[in-house]
C-alpha cells in the first residue's frame, strides 16, 4: 500500500496527482525512506557544501541554485540546499523543483505547513535571506516593538486583516473579583462556540486562541500571579463574546493581567500561525483489530481543546533525533445514535484509532508508548463544517481502512442532530474481514437506527462469499449513492488512501455530483 509519511514539500502535478489538498507519493528507490534520510542527516556529512558555515543569501544568489543537482529553496526566510534531499522526498524531485531557486513558503504551506522542515532539513541550512532595504518592506506594523502594538487590548488599525467595510477585529478586556479573574474576548462573530476557543495555561503562561473563520486571534500572556488549573470557558454564541474564567490562588488584587508574550493580541490567518502543542498523557491502549488500536489521551487539566467533527490533530514525536509530525482524526469511544452533548470525558480526553504499520516510521514508536507516558498533541485543523450537514437529507460515506476515523464523530453527530436526515449509508472498503474496524458496532447501529445502512467491500477476502468484493469503482458507486428522492440534499464524504480518495472524487464527479456535494477529508 501507499501511505503518506511527513514530507517536506507538497506533491502535485507530474508524477502522481494530489487528492483535493491531499498528497500522493512516488515510489522511492530502496534506501531512500524518511528513516534513511534521518540517518544521512545525522551522519555528520557536509550536506550544504559550506562546511557548517551559515551565509546571507540575496535573491540573485538564491535564483542561481535552481537545478536538480544544485537546488536551494527559501522557507520563511531561511534558505536550504535541498539537493541531497531530492531522492528522499516522498512527493518526488519534480515537486521540490517547483520551488527551486525561489521562496517556496506559500507552496509549502498550501499542503502541509505542519511538517517540521526545520528539524528535517536542519543539516541543509545554508543561511538566511539578506534583508531588503527598509523602504521595500510592506507591513510597517510588524517593525514596531511589541509594546507599541498594544493599545489597551485593541489592535492598531493597520493590523486589521479583514478588509470588509465592518471592523471585525476582535479585542479583549479583563476584570476581577476577590477570587476570580475573567478574560473577555469580543470576537464580534455570531455563531461562536466552545470548539472555536483553545485555551492552555502552563508555567504561569496563558494562551487563548480564538478561531474566527480562517483567522486566529491570539492572547498570550505571562499572568501576574499563578491561577488554579481548572479553567472555565463560556461562549455567548449570539454576540460572539468569550469569557475565560481563572480562579486565583490567593485573593490578591491584580493591578494588571500580566506581561504580553510573543504574538500576543495578534489576528492573523490560521495558516500563518505555527502549530501549538501540549503534552497529553496516554491513559489506555486497547485493541480494535489485529493491527489497529484505540489510544486514549488525557488533555492537561488546564487545557480546553474540543476537536470539531471531521477535524484532525497532529501528534509529534522525536524519532532518531528528528521531530516527526503526523495527523490523526479523533474518534468517539463508540458509535451511538443518541449522542447529545459531549460528556465531561469527551471534553477532557482524545480518543485516537490508529493502525500500526510494522515498517512505518511513526506508528511503531507510538505503539511503544507505555500507559502514563506523554506525547505532544497539536491544536486541531480541518475544512469540514457542521453547516455542510445542517439541512441534509442523504449522507453517503465512502471510507477505506483507517479512513473510517472521520466518519465516527460524523455519524454520531448527524444521527442525533440533523432532523432532516432520511438516509445515512456507509460503504466501507477493507482488504480482509479481519481489517474491518468496529464491524460489530456498525451492524448494531444499523439494526438500531433504520436510517443507517452499512456495506462492506473487501479487496483481498480470505474466504469466498463473505460480502461484496472489489475496490472503489463507478459501478459500485452508481448503485450506492442514489438520492432517496429526486433533488434531495445530499453530501458524500470520502476518506482513505490518496488514490482511493482521488478515484472516488473522480467517479462521483462523473456521476454528476457537484463539488459542494462531495467532501474529502485531507490534511
Ligand atoms: P509510514 O512511514 O508513513 O509508512 C506507512 C506504510 O507505507 C508502511 O507500510 C510503509 O512501508 C509504506 N511506505 C512508506 N513510504 C512508502 C513509499 N514511498 N512507497 C510505498 N510504500 C511506502 N491514520 C490512522 O491510523 N488513524 C487516523 O485517525 C488517521 N488520521 C489521519 C488524518 C489525516 C488528515 C491524514 C492525512 C492521515 C491520517 N492517518 C491516520 C494516517 C497517519 O497520518 C499516518 O500516515 C500513518 O499513521 C502512517 O504513519 P507511519 O509513519 O507509521 O507510516
Ligand atoms: P488499506 O491499505 O488497508 O486499504 C483499505 C482499502 O482501501 C483497500 O481494501 C482498498 O479497497 C482501498 N485502497 C487501497 N489502496 C487503493 C488504491 N491504490 N486504489 C484504490 N483503492 C485502494 O488502508 P489503510 O492502511 O487503513 O490506510 C488508510 C489511509 O487513509 C491512509 O493512507 C491514511 O493516511 C488515510 N487516512 C486519511 C484520513 C484523513 O485524511 N482525514 C484519516 C484517516 C486515514
CATH number at residue 430: 3.40.50.80
Q: With beta carbons less than 8 A apart as the criterion, state whether 381 and 329 touch.
A: no
Closest ligand, as measured to the CA of 381:
1
Residue 1 lies in a domain: no
Number of domains observed in the structure of the chain: 4
CA-nearest of 339, 366, 496 to 428 is 496
pLDDT the model gives residue 238: 86
For residue 354, give the ligand 1 atom closest to its CA.
25
Q: Average pLDDT of 217-229?
A: 97
**C-alpha of residue 314 to centroid of ligand 1, in Å:** 13
Of the pLDDT bands very low, low, confident and very high (cuts 50, 70, 90), residue 217 is very high
Q: And the C-alpha cell for 364? A: 511503531
Ligand closest to 295 (CA) is 1
| Residue 414 domain-assigned (yes or no) | yes
H or E stretch including 453? strand 452-458
Q: Would you say residue 366 has pLDDT above 80?
A: yes
Asked if the model's pLDDT at residue 93 lies above 90, the reply is: no
- Tell me the CA–centroid distance for residue 454 and ligand 2, in Å: 18
At residue 41 the predicted structure's pLDDT band, cuts being 50, 70 and 90, is: confident
The whole-number average pLDDT for the span 115-121 is 83
Among 1, 2, 3, 8, the mutation site with the greatest number of ligand 1 atoms within 8 A of its Cβ is 3
Same domain, 433 and 360: no
Q: Catalogue the long-range contacts made by 241-244 (C-beta closer than 8 Å, 24 or more residues apart).
A: 241/184, 241/185, 241/186, 241/187, 241/192, 242/184, 242/185, 242/187, 242/192, 242/197, 242/208, 242/210, 243/182, 243/183, 243/184, 243/185, 244/182, 244/183, 244/185, 244/197, 244/199, 244/206, 244/208
Contact 252, 225 (CB under 8 A): yes
Which residue owns the Cα nearest ligand 1 atom 1? 360
Residue identified by cell 544568489 is 61
CB 280 within 8 A of CB 374: yes
Would the CB of 328 count as within 6 Å of ligand 2? no
Say which CATH number the domain at 158 has. Answer: 2.60.40.790
Q: Which pLDDT band, with edges at 50, 70 and 90, does 191 fall under?
A: confident
> Measured from the CB, is residue 497 less than 6 Å from ligand 2?
yes
- The pLDDT value recorded for residue 7 is 46
Q: Are residues 92 and 33 in the same domain?
A: yes
Same domain for 269 and 158: yes
3-state SS class at 432:
coil
Ligand 1 centroid–CA 3 distance in Å is: 4
Q: Are 5 and 90 in contact (CB under 8 A)?
A: yes
* Domain contains 260: yes
* Residue entry with cell 485493541: 287
Per DSSP, 263 falls in state T
Q: Ligand 1, closest atom to CA 364?
A: 52
Q: What is the pLDDT of residue 21?
A: 39
pLDDT greater than 80 at residue 416: yes
Ligand nearest to the CA of 520: 2
Shared domain check, 295 and 180: no
Atom index in ligand 2 nearest the CA of residue 401 equals: 26
Identify whether residues 367 and 395 lie together within a single domain. no
Percent of the chain with pLDDT over 70: 86
Query: Is residue 232 situated within a structural domain?
Result: yes
Over residues 267-304, the pLDDT tens digits come to: 999 988 989 999 999 999 999 999 999 999 999 999 99
Same-domain check for residues 391 and 514: yes
Mean pLDDT of the 424-451 span: 97
Determine, yes or no, domain membership for 201. Answer: yes
Both 412 and 374 in a single domain?
no
Ligand 1 centroid vs 231 CA: distance in angstroms? 35
Tell me whether residue 32 is exposed, middle or buried, using C-beta atoms within 10 angstroms of its C-beta: 0 to 12, 13 to 18, 19 or more.
middle
Rounded distance from Cα 363 to ligand 1 centre (Å)? 8
Percent of the chain surpassing pLDDT 90: 66
Q: What pLDDT does residue 303 have?
A: 97
Q: Is 382 in the pocket of ligand 2 (CB under 6 A)?
A: no
CA 255 to CA 451: how far, in whole Å?
58
Q: Does some domain include residue 65?
A: yes
Among residues 335, 373, 337, the alpha carbon closest in space to that of 353 is found at 335
Is the residue at 284 inside a domain? yes
Position 144 confidence tier, pLDDT thresholds 50, 70, 90? very low
How does pLDDT run across 456-499, given as a tens digit for each residue? 999 999 877 667 899 999 999 998 999 999 899 999 999 999 99
Domain harbouring 48, CATH code: 3.10.120.10
Confirm or reject: Cβ of 452 under 6 Å from ligand 2: no
Q: Are 196 and 183 in contact (CB under 8 A)?
A: no
End of a domain among 338, 355, 378? Answer: 378
CA of residue 404 to ligand 2 center, whole Å? 9
Q: Which residues line ligand 1 (CB under 6 A)?
A: 1-5, 25, 27-28, 90, 312, 326-329, 352-355, 357, 359-363, 402, 405, 522-523
Note whether 257 and 158 are same-domain residues.
Answer: yes
**Residue 337 pLDDT class (50, 70, 90 cuts):** low
Q: Is the same domain home to 70 and 48?
A: yes
Q: Based on the domain organization, do 304 and 365 belong to the same domain?
A: yes
Q: Final residue of a domain: which of 355, 378, 401?
A: 378
Question: Of 98, 129, 160, which residue sits at a domain end?
Answer: 129
Between 65-79, 130-144, 413-427, 466-480, the lowest mean confidence (pLDDT) is in 130-144
105 three-state secondary structure: helix
User: How do residues 379-394 score in pLDDT, each as one tens digit?
Assistant: 999 999 999 999 999 9
The best mutation among 401, 474, 501 to test binding of ligand 2, ranked by most ligand atoms within 8 Å of the C-beta, falls on: 401
Angstrom distance (rounded) from CA 28 to CA 90 = 7
pLDDT above 80 (res 189): yes
Which residue has better confidence, 345 or 311? 311
| 407 and 435 belong to one structural domain | yes
Residue 520 pairs in a beta bridge with 494
Instruction: Tell whether the model's pLDDT for residue 138 goes beyond 90.
Output: no
How many CB atoms sit inside 10 A of residue 253's CB?
8
Domain membership of residue 7 (yes or no) is: no
> What is the edge-to-edge ordering of all strands in the sheet holding 241-247?
171-176, 180-186, 241-247, 232-236
pTM of the full structure: 0.84
pLDDT value for 341: 67
- Cα distances (angstroms) measured from residue 77 to each of 29, 248, 497: 31, 42, 34
Q: Which residue has the higher pLDDT, 156 or 72?
A: 72
pLDDT for the residue numbered 340: 64
What pLDDT is attached to residue 19?
Answer: 34
Q: What residue numbers bound the domain in which 515 lies?
A: 386-520
Q: What residue owns the CA closest to ligand 2's atom 30?
A: 496
391 and 363 part of one domain: no
Domain at 341, CATH number: 2.40.30.10
Ligand at minimal distance from the CA of 400 is: 2
SS (H, E, C) 350-398: EEEEEECCCCCCCHHHHHCCCCCCEEEEECCECCCCHHHHCCCCEEEEE
Proximal ligand: closest to the CA of 115: 1
Question: Would you say the C-alpha torsion 30, 35, 39, 42 has a positive or negative sign?
Answer: positive
Amino acid at each position: 500500500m501507499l501511505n503518506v509519511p511527513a514530507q517536506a514539500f507538497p506533491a502535485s502535478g507530474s508524477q502522481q496527482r494530489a487528492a483535493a489538498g491531499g498528497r500522493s507519493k512516488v515510489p522511492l528507490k530502496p534506501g531512500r525512506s524518511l528513516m534513511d534520510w534521518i540517518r544521512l542527516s545525522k551522519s555528520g556529512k557536509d550536506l550544504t557544501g559550506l562546511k557548517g558555515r551559515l551565509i546571507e543569501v540575496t535573491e540573485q544568489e538564491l535564483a542561481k541554485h535552481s537545478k536538480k543537482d544544485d537546488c536551494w529553496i527559501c522557507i520563511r526566510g531561511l534558505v536550504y540546499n535541498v539537493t541531497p534531499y531530492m531522492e528522499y522526498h516522498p512527493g518526488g524531485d519534480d515537486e521540490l523543483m517547483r520551488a527551486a531557486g525561489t521562496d517556496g513558503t506559500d507552496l509549502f504551506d498550501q499542503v502541509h505547513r505542519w511538517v517540521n522542515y526545520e528539524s528535517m532539513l536542519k543539516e541543509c541550512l545554508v543561511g538566511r535571506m539578506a534583508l531588503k532595504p527598509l523602504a521595500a518592506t510592506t507591513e510597517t506594523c510588524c517593525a514596531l516593538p511589541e509594546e507599541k502594538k498594544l493599545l489597551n487590548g485593541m489592535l492598531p488599525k493597520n493590523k486589521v486583516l479583514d478588509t470588509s467595510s465592518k471592523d471585525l477585529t476582535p479585542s479583549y478586556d479583563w476584570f476581577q473579583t476577590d477570587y476570580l479573574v475573567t478574560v473577555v474576548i469580543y470576537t464580534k462573530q455570531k455563531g461562536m462556540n466552545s470548539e472555536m476557543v483553545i485555551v492552555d495555561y502552563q508555567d504561569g503562561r496563558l494562551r487563548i486562541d480564538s478561531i474566527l473563520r480562517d483567522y486566529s486571534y491570539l492572547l498570550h500572556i505571562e499572568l501576574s500571579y499563578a491561577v488554579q488549573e481548572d479553567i472555565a470557558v463560556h461562549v455567548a454564541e449570539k454576540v460572539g463574546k468569550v469569557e475565560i474564567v481563572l480562579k486565583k490562588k490567593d485573593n490578591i488584587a491584580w493591578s494588571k493581567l500580566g506581561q504580553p508574550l510573543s504574538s500576543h493580541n495578534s489576528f492573523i490567518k490560521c495558516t500563518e500561525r505555527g502549530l501549538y502543542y501540549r503534552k497529553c498523557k496516554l491513559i489506555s491502549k486497547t485493541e480494535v483489530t489485529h493491527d489497529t488500536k484505540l489510544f486514549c489521551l488525557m488533555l492537561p487539566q488546564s487545557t480546553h481543546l474540543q476537536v470539531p467533527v471531521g477535524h484532525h490533530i497532529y501528534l509529534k514525536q522525536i524519532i532518531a533525533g528528528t521531530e516527526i509530525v503526523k495527523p490523526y482524526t479523533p474518534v468517539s469511544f463508540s458509535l451511538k445514535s443518541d449522542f447529545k452533548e459531549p460528556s465531561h470525558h469527551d471534553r477532557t480526553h482524545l480518543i485516537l484509532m490508529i493502525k500500526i504499520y510494522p515498517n512505518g516510521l511513526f506508528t511503531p514508536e507510538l505503539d511503544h508508548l507505555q500507559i502514563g507516558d506523554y506525547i505532544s498533541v497539536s491544536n486541531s485543523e480541518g475544512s469540514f463544517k457542521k453547516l455542510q450537514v445542517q439541512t441534509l437529507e442523504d449522507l453517503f460515506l465512502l471510507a477505506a481502512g483507517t479512513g473510517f476515523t472521520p466518519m465516527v464523530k460524523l455519524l454520531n453527530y448527524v444521527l442525533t442532530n440533523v432532523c432532516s436526515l432520511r438516509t445515512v449509508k456507509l460503504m466501507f472498503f477493507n482488504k480482509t474481514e479481519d481489517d474491518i474496524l468496529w464491524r460489530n458496532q456498525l451492524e448494531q447501529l444499523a439494526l438500531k437506527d433504520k436510517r443507517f445502512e452499512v456495506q462492506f467491500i473487501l479487496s483481498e477476502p480470505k474466504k469466498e462469499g463473505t460480502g461484496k468484493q472489489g475496490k472503489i469503482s463507478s459501478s459500485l458507486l452508481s448503485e450506492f449513492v442514489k438520492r432517496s428522492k429526486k433533488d434531495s440534499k445530499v453530501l458524500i464524504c470520502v476518506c482513505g488512501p490518496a488514490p482511493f480518495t482521488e478515484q472516488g472524487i473522480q467517479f462521483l464527479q462523473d456521476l454528476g455530483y457537484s463539488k459542494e456535494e462531495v467532501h474529502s477529508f485531507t490534511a
